[in-house]
Amino acid sequence: MRITISKENYLKAIAEAESEGQTVIAATLARWLNVSPPAVTMAIKRLKRDGLIQVAKDGQLSLTGTGRDIATRLLNRHHLIERMLTEIFGMEWYKVHEEAEQLEHAVSSDFERKLMERLGPGGACPHGNFIGLDTPEERRKRGWMPLPDLAVEQDASVVSVFERDRQLLEYFDSLGICPGASLRMMSQNYDDTVTLLIDGRRVQLGQSAASKVWVEPVEVRQPVSLA
């Protein structure tokens, strides 16, 4: 069986969508990979034929053991490359996902092993995400929550952001929202936005974007009075 770049991308997309708590069907992959429904249909047939995925009666897709092994290997390489680009080469954190998407298919096992030796196993990527099925449930067990769930006047530290949208990452960076940043929820607004306090300035963020940010609450302080 020949494992092409296309097959790797589909298998990794299934694993990543699962980690976001999504039910994976053909439409999920079309949206996730920005490909046409007919292309997804053909890819699903090939992946099922090769024993890499299972397709339930309701159309839900899941990885077989072999398929998950391939996806996990690719996710691990992606993670190491992102860390390499930031920790060794100093690339901006919001740029490394797209670079890693290209490089992950070309990395040899030897180079992957060298990266592991240099960077060490485990740890979070520059976006605060961990390798594997780090589902919303697992995140909540660690005490994390989506930003919109943060109580008003509650302080928090940003721990993770959705990394598959370059424009969104650049927007977050311009607002000072990145892993490790401290913020306070100032208000939940009628127009479906939230107002945050970041580095002494008020920032408004739509609920859709805010939901892509995970935070860890910290001890509540007294309300801030702004002039």
- Residue 3 is predicted with a pLDDT of 87
Provide φ and ψ at 162, rounded to 5°.
Answer: -65, 130
Name the architecture of domain 140-217: Roll (2.30)
Q: 1-126 and 140-217: same fold?
A: no
Considering the entire predicted model, what is its pTM? 0.87
> Which run of H or E residues covers position 47?
helix 37-49
Query: Would you kindly state where each structural domain of the chain is located, as residue ranges?
Result: 1-126, 140-217
User: What are the tens digits of pLDDT across the range 96-148?
Assistant: 999 999 999 988 999 999 999 999 877 889 999 987 667 889 899 999 999 99
- Residue 111 is predicted with a pLDDT of 93
- Evaluate the CA torsion angle 24, 216, 163, 166 in order and state its sign: positive
Q: Which fold has domain 1-126?
A: Arc Repressor Mutant, subunit A (1.10.10)
Q: How many angstroms separate the first and last alpha carbons of the chain?
A: 66
| pLDDT of 222 strictly over 60 | no
In 47-192 the beta strands, taken as DSSP E runs, fall at 53-55, 61-63, 145-146, 155-161, 182-188
- Residue 2 is predicted with a pLDDT of 81
User: What are the tens digits of pLDDT across the range 37-89?
Assistant: 999 999 999 999 999 999 999 999 999 999 999 999 999 999 999 999 999 99
Strand pairing report for 193-198 and 61-63? unpaired
Is 194 in a helix, a strand, or coil? strand
Cβ(202)–Cβ(195) below 8 Å = yes
Query: How far is 212 from 169, CA to CA, in rounded Å?
Result: 10
